[in-house]
């Protein structure tokens, strides 16, 4: 390389950088230090170096020589390149994270809109139909008209129940979970009794045996526990033997509430046991015998929201669903309001 001009020893990017940056730097300050420059080896491959340059001048300030020392710096340049790659990777990761956050924000808005549609846009027309049916009920004259109005009211109630189920599904799967509001002062046994009365009226000819001993306040959302019992009892009436009673038991003991619903009938197949609490699981029952298949899923979410557990057992003699939860809920914020399950 002796006798060759400096620029011929540099790579093309190195030449450009030397002429546009380093040469002016030498003229202005007389030196540069620790600058990365690539030289060309004999085979044309770049050789990574660190350059230090100094310009000497005479007494009148005219340059007399330029001395540039090159130090091979493979490890250092590799480290610098790794830093650059790491920085690019970090920037790409940050951009990906930001994009993911934006997508999640958009999904959250979509979830809120979806729940709003269920909670408002579907309920309002149904409320109008219900009000119209009540008005018609006061003006009917024939028995046939009365039967038609009664069928309309039953259908409206069924649709309202389906909307409630889908709304709970949306909150459980898309939102923050089913909301519960703990109120220890409200008698739970009265709520459970009312649920049984309603289902007895809805299932004439079916026997429901009740054994309730809830003799102390339970820190729970009694309306949601009533909804759970309604779902479990409705499931037992749908799938249980029509010739044998459905048993409902509830008691408080050992600082816990235990609520169970059992029925005789066909055993639940083992392969179906793991799917009982999945949404839309309907087993082998005909579609005309049940709704959307959300009852057991919602019941399990209510149990989870109360810090409790809902389990199912099934034998050839009996199928039983048992819910247990602490009588006193675990410590939480003292402010009143809904508590979501996640």
Contact 231, 298 (CB under 8 A): yes
Return d(Cα 192, Cα 207) in angstroms, integer: 16
pTM above 0.85, yes or no: no
Q: Is 154 in the same domain as 34?
A: no
Asked if residue 162 is part of any domain, the answer here is yes
Concatenated DSSP letters of 22-56: IHHHHHHHSEEEEEEEEEE-TTS-EEEEEEEEEEE
Answer yes or no: are the C-beta atoms of 268 and 276 closer than 8 Å.
yes
Residue 78 lies in a domain: no
Residue 255 lies in a domain: yes
Q: Are residues 191 and 287 both part of a single domain? A: yes
Distance (Å, whole) CA 301 – CA 171: 10
Model pLDDT, residue 97: 92
CB 196 within 8 A of CB 232: no
* Domain co-membership, 139 together with 226: no
Nearest alpha carbon to residue 190 among 163, 215, 208, 153: 215
Range of the domain at 164: 96-173
User: Is 188 part of any domain?
Assistant: yes
Number of domain units in the chain: 3
Same domain, 19 and 49: yes
- In this structure, are 224 and 138 located in the same domain? no
Give the model's pLDDT for residue 340.
47
In a domain, 132, yes or no: yes
Report d(CA 147, CA 137) in Å as an integer.
10
Which CATH number do you get for residue 117?
A: 1.10.287
Residues 165 and 192 in one domain: no
- In this prediction, residue 259 carries a pLDDT of 98
Whether 133 and 227 share a structural domain? no
Q: Are residues 325 and 209 in the same domain?
A: yes
Domain end point (choices 153, 173, 193): 173
pLDDT number for residue 329: 66
Q: Report the 3 state secondary structure along 50-113.
A: EEEEEEEECCCCCEEEEEEEEEECHHHHHHHHHHHHHHHHHHHHHHHHHHHHHHHHHHHHHHHH
* Rounded-to-integer distance, Cα 189 and Cα 54, Å: 94
CATH number of the domain within which 38 lies: 3.30.450.20
CB 208, CB 245: distance < 8 Å: yes
For the chain, residues with pLDDT lower than 70 are: 1-3, 77, 111-121, 170-177, 184-185, 283-292, 329-342
Based on the fold, state whether residues 185 and 224 are members of the same structural domain.
yes
Within-domain flag for 153? yes
Q: 225, 178 in Cβ contact below 8 A?
A: no
The backbone torsions φ and ψ at residue 240, rounded to the nearest 5 degrees and listed phi first, read -80, 170
The answer to the question of residue 163 being in a domain is: yes
By the 8 A CB rule, do 326 and 255 touch? yes
CA 180/CA 55 separation, integer angstroms: 80
Domain assignment of residue 88, yes or no: no
Same domain, 109 and 52: no
Q: What is the CATH number of the domain that holds 213?
A: 3.30.565.10
Same domain assignment for residues 161 and 33: no
Residues 122 and 234 in one domain: no
């Amino acid at each position: 390389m002796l006798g060759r001009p400096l620029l011929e020893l540099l790579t093309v990017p190195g030449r450009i950088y030397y002429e546009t940056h380093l040469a002016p730097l030498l003229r202005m300050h007389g030196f540069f230090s620790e600058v990365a420059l690539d030289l060309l080896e004999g085979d044309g491959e770049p050789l990574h170096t660190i350059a230090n340059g100094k310009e000497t001048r005479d007494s009148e300030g005219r340059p007399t020589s330029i001395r540039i020392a090159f130090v091979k710096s493979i490890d250092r340049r590799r480290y610098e390149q790794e830093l650059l790659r790491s920085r690019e990777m970090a920037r790409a990761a940050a951009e990906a994270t930001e994009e993911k956050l934006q997508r999640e924000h958009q999904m959250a808005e979509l979830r809120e809109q979806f729940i709003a549609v269920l909670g408002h846009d579907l309920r309002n027309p149904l409320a109008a139909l219900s009000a119209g049916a009540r008005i018609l009920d006061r003006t009917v004259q024939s028995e046939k008209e009365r039967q038609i109005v009664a069928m309309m009211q039953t259908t409206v109630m069924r649709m309202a129940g389906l909307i409630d189920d889908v709304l709970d599904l949306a909150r459980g799967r898309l939102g923050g979970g089913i909301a519960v509001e703990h109120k220890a002062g409200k008698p739970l046994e009265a709520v459970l009794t009312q649920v049984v009365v309603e289902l007895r009226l809805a299932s004439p000819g079916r026997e429901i045996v009740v054994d309730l001993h809830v003799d102390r306040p339970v820190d729970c959302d009694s309306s949601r526990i009533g909804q759970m019992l309604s779902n479990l009892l409705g499931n037992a009436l749908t799938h249980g033997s029509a010739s044998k009673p459905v048993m409902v038991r509830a008691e408080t003991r050992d600082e816990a509430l235990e609520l169970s619903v059992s029925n005789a009938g066909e055993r639940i197949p083992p392969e179906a046991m793991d799917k009982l609490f999945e949404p839309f699981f309907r087993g082998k029952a005909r579609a005309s015998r049940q709704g959307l298949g959300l009852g057991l899923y919602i019941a399990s979410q209510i149990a989870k929201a109360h810090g409790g557990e809902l389990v199912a057992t099934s034998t050839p003699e009996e199928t039983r669903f048992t819910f247990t939860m602490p009588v006193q809920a675990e410590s939480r914020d003292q402010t009143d309001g809904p508590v979501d399950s996640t």
